[in-house]
Amino acid sequence: MYVAVKGGEGAIDNAHRLLAHERRGDRAVPEISLAQISEQLSLGVDRVMVEGSLYDRELASLAIKQARGDLIEAIFLLRAFRATLPRFGNSEPVDTGAMQIRRRISSTFKDIPGGQILGPTFDYTHRLLDPALAEDSTPEAPATAEASSERMPRVTDILGRDGLIESSPAADAGAPVGDLTREPLSFPADRDLRLQNLARGDEGFLLSLAYSSQRGYGRNHPFAGEIRLGSVEVEFFAEDAGFAVPLGPITLTECQMVNQFKGSATEAPCFTRGYGLAFGHSERKAMSMALVDRALRARELDEEVAAPAQDEEFVMSHSDNVQATGFVEHLKLPHYVDFQSELGLLRKLRQEFGAADDAALQEAAE
Amino acid sequence: MAIMTTTETLQRRRRNAMAVLARSDAAAIAERLAAIATPSCADLRQPENGLVMVRGRIGGDGAAFNLGEATVSRAAVRLASGEVGFGYALGRDLDKARAIALCDAMLQSADHVELVEHQVLAPLRARIEANITSQAEQTAATKVDFYTLVRGEG
C-alpha cells in the first residue's frame, strides 16, 4: 500500500528551478534550438517519436530539450502530451510498396529489381571518431546520379510470386483493429496488437530479445529479406469532406525478416516471416521488432514456446519503457509508512527469534 | 453518368491539391495566397489540433495494425458564395489547415479555380517536385552492385 505524504512544496519548487538551471548548462554556451535538435540529432528525435508513439518532430525535439537528452524521459513527456489531444480517427493503412525510397537493401538477393540502395547509412563506416566534427564543419554536397523510375517491389512480394514464402495474413474488412491505447492488454493477443506493442516498445529491450533469439533462445534462422527507408503518404478518410484526404508524408523504416520454413502434410514448405515498421529512420528498432514478431509467432506456427522472446505475455508486459520506468522509479518516492510497518514486523520477528534462542540456550544449559 | 464523372474529376483535383498543400510550408502557401485576390470566407470549423492513428499493414500488404499516432490540424471554411472547403495536414499548424481549407473551397468555385491552380498550386508543386528529384538523385548515387567472390579453389 502506498500512503501519500504532504509537505515539501518549497523544496520541490526550488529543485525544479535548479533543474531548469542545470538544463541550461553553462550560459556562456549558446542555447540549443529545436531546429538544431530536429536537424542534427534526428535519429534521437526519431526514437522519441517511435516510442512516444507520436509522429511530430517538433514536439519530440522539445521533449528531448526539456528532458536534457534523457530519451526515456522525453518519450514519457510525449506520451503525456498525446493524452491531451482528441483523436480524429484512423488513417488508411500506409502503402510501403509505394514508398519514396531513401534506402533499400536486401541481404538475401544481390540483384533485386530497383537495386540495392545504401542511402544515408552508418554501415561500412569504420566507427572511428572523426575529429573534424569537433569543429564547425561543412560537409561536401551529396553526389548525385540519374534517378531511375524502376519500381521497387518488396523482396517478399518477389518470393511470394513463386509461393516460396507465406503470404501476409489477409485483411478482413469487417474485423476491428486492436488498439492497446484504448483497451487493456489481455492474452493471448493477436498479431495486430503484438505489432502495435512492439512498435512502441523500448528499442533496447527488443534489441536484447532479438539478440537472444539469434543466440539460440528461440532460434528461427532469420535473413534480412529487405530493409527500406523512405517516405509514404498518409491518408485519412475525412467524413466531412467525404473522401480520403492526403495529410502529407511521413518517414518510415520497414524490415521484412525471412525465416526458416514450415510445412505440413497438406502444405509445401515455405519461408516464414517477421515484420517490423517504425517511424523515422529507425533501422535497429525495425529489425529487432521483426525478429521478435517472428519469435512471438511460435504458438501460431506450432513451435515449442521455451524462450523469453517467444513468450508474448512476458514480452508485451515488459516492452513499454514508460510503464517500466514508472514502476522502477516509483521506488524513489517516499515509502515511509510501508517501510515502518516492515520494520515493525522485522523487529517482532527478531524478538521472537531471540526469545527462542534464549529458550534453546536455557534448555542446553540444563 | 456525366455528373458522376464531373464529381470524380473534381474530387481528384481536390485530393491532388490537398497532397501538394499538405507537403508545403504554411509560409509558402501564405505567400502564394497573398499574391492573389482571395474571396471572403467564414470558419465553418474553427481550426483545431488532434491526432490520427497511423495504420500499417502486417507484412506490408496484409491486415491493418496500429503503428502510432501523428498530430494533425484541420479546419473548414465556407466562401460567401457557398462553397465549403476542408483543410487537413500533419503537424499542428492551424494557419496551414485554414489556408488549405480556403484553397479547397476556391477549387470548387468556377470563379477561383484557375487562379488557385496556376498561382498557388503550380509553383508549390514545382518546388515539391524539384525537392523529390533532388533527393532521388542523391539516393541514386548510393546504389551499389555487390558481387560475390567465390572463396578457395572452387
Q: Which residues of B touch A179 (CB under 8 A)?
A: 53, 66
Parallel, antiparallel, or unpaired for β A100-105 and B143-144?
Answer: unpaired
Asked whether residue A107 falls in the same domain as residue A28, the answer is: no
pLDDT category at A1 given cuts 50, 70, 90 is low
Element (H, E) at A209: helix A203-214
Domain termination site, one of A29, A59, A82: A82
Q: Which of B54, B104, B137 sits opposite A55 (nearest CB)?
A: B54
Asked whether residue A199 falls in the same domain as residue A78, the answer is: no
Contact (CB<8Å) B141/A142? yes
Q: Output the pLDDT for position B148.
A: 61
Asked whether residue A215 falls in the same domain as residue A320, the answer is: yes
| Residues near B32 by beta carbon (within 8 Å), at least 6 away in sequence | B119, B120, B123, B124
- Residue A2 domain-assigned (yes or no): no
Chain B nearest-CA residue for A254: B60
Closest Cα in chain A, distance from residue B3 (Å): 17
Q: Which of A145, A241, A248 sits opposite B90 (nearest CB)?
A: A248
What DSSP assignment string belongs to B61-123? TSSEEEEEEEEEEEEEEEETTS-EEEEEEESS-HHHHHHHHHHHHHHTSTTTHHHIIIIIIHH
In whole angstroms, give the CA distance from residue B34 to residue B103: 12
Q: Which residues of B touch A195 (CB under 8 A)?
A: 56, 58, 65, 67
Q: Which of A86, A100, A247 sits opposite B132 (nearest CB)?
A: A100
Could you report the per-residue pLDDT of A170-218, keeping only the tens digit for each?
888 778 999 999 999 999 999 999 999 999 999 999 999 999 999 999 9
Nearest to A319 by CA among A232, A209, A155, A220: A209
Whether ipTM exceeds 0.85? yes
Q: Which residues of A touch B141 (CB under 8 A)?
A: 142-145
Torsion angles phi and psi, residue A180, rounded to 5: -80, -5
Burial tier of A121 (Cβ tally within 10 Å: 0-12, 13-18, 19+): middle
Q: Which of A90, A102, A169 sits opposite B53 (nearest CB)?
A: A90
Chain A nearest-CA residue for B66: A196
Q: Output the pLDDT for position B154.
A: 47
Chain B nearest-CA residue for A180: B66
Asked whether residue A191 falls in the same domain as residue A70, the answer is: no
Q: Output the pLDDT for position A229.
A: 98
Phi-psi region of A111 (alpha: psi -120 to 50; beta: other; left: phi over 0): beta
Mutate to test the interface with B, among A53, A75, A91, A179 (most CBs of B within 10 A): A91
User: What is the tally of structural domains in chain A?
Assistant: 2
Could you report the per-residue pLDDT of A25-50, keeping only the tens digit for each?
999 999 999 999 999 999 999 999 99
In whole angstroms, give the CA distance from residue A282 to residue A198: 13
pLDDT category at B147 given cuts 50, 70, 90 is low
Asked whether residue A301 falls in the same domain as residue A255, the answer is: yes
Contact (CB<8Å) A179/B68? no
In whole angstroms, give the CA distance from residue A172 to residue B91: 31
Average the pLDDT over B103-107 and give the result: 97
- Residue A70 domain-assigned (yes or no): yes
Q: Is the pLDDT of residue B1 over 70?
A: no
Could you report the per-residue pLDDT of A305-360, keeping only the tens digit for each?
999 999 999 999 999 999 999 999 999 988 888 899 999 999 999 999 988 888 88
Q: Output the pLDDT for position A2.
A: 58
Average the pLDDT over B17-24 and give the result: 98
Mutate to test the interface with B, among A79, A88, A92, A190 (most CBs of B within 10 A): A88
Parallel, antiparallel, or unpaired for β B64-79 and A54-55?
Answer: parallel
Contact (CB<8Å) A192/B58? yes
Asked whether residue A207 falls in the same domain as residue A316, the answer is: yes
Contact A20, A354 (CB under 8 A): no
- Residue A133 domain-assigned (yes or no): no
| Residues near A133 by beta carbon (within 8 Å), at least 6 away in sequence | none
Identify the three-state secondary structure at position A103. strand
Could you report the per-residue pLDDT of A255-302, keeping only the tens digit for each?
999 998 887 778 889 999 999 999 999 999 999 999 999 999 999 999
Domain ranges of chain B: 26-120
Q: Output the pLDDT for position B153.
A: 57
Average the pLDDT over A97-102 and give the result: 95
- Residue A24 domain-assigned (yes or no): yes
Contact (CB<8Å) A246/B65? no
Q: Which residues of A touch B66 (CB under 8 A)?
A: 90, 177-181, 192, 196, 199
Torsion angles phi and psi, residue B90, rounded to 5: -60, 150
Torsion angles phi and psi, residue A262, rounded to 5: -135, 155
Q: Which residues of A touch B58 (CB under 8 A)?
A: 168-169, 191-192, 195, 275
Closest Cα in chain A, distance from residue B53 (Å): 5
Q: What percent of chain A has pLDDT over 70?
A: 99
Cα-Cα-Cα-Cα torsion A72, A183, A207, A41, nearest 10 degrees, comes to: -40
Closest Cα in chain B, distance from residue A254 (Å): 8
Contact A152, A95 (CB under 8 A): no
Q: For residue A301, give the C-alpha cell.
A: 506456427
Q: Which of B22, B50, B51 sits opposite A246 (nearest CB)?
A: B22
In whole angstroms, give the CA distance from residue B137 to residue A198: 34
- Residue A355 domain-assigned (yes or no): no
Q: What is the CATH number of domain B26-120?
A: 3.30.390
Q: Which residues of A touch B62 (CB under 8 A)?
A: 167-171
Contact (CB<8Å) A90/B49? no
The strand pairing partners of A55, in sequence order, are B70
Average the pLDDT over A108-131 and give the result: 91
Q: Output the pLDDT for position B121.
A: 97
Q: Output the pLDDT for position B5.
A: 64
Q: Which of B53, B71, B148 sits opposite A110 (nearest CB)?
A: B148
| Residues near B74 by beta carbon (within 8 Å), at least 6 away in sequence | A88, A238, B45, B47, B48, B50, B86, B87, B88, B89, B97
- Residue A310 domain-assigned (yes or no): yes
Q: Which residues of A touch B142 (CB under 8 A)?
A: 103, 117-120, 143
Closest Cα in chain B, distance from residue A47 (Å): 13
Average the pLDDT over A80-103 and give the result: 96
Average the pLDDT over A358-364 and give the result: 82
pLDDT category at B40 given cuts 50, 70, 90 is very high
- Residue A77 domain-assigned (yes or no): yes
Contact (CB<8Å) B52/A103? no
Q: Which amino acid is at B87?
A: G
- Residue A124 domain-assigned (yes or no): no
Q: Which residues of A touch B138 (CB under 8 A)?
A: 142-144
Asked whether residue A115 falls in the same domain as residue A47, the answer is: no
Q: Which residues of B touch A322 (CB under 8 A)?
A: none
User: Domain range for residue A157?
Assistant: 96-119+150-167+183-325
Identify the three-state secondary structure at position B55. strand
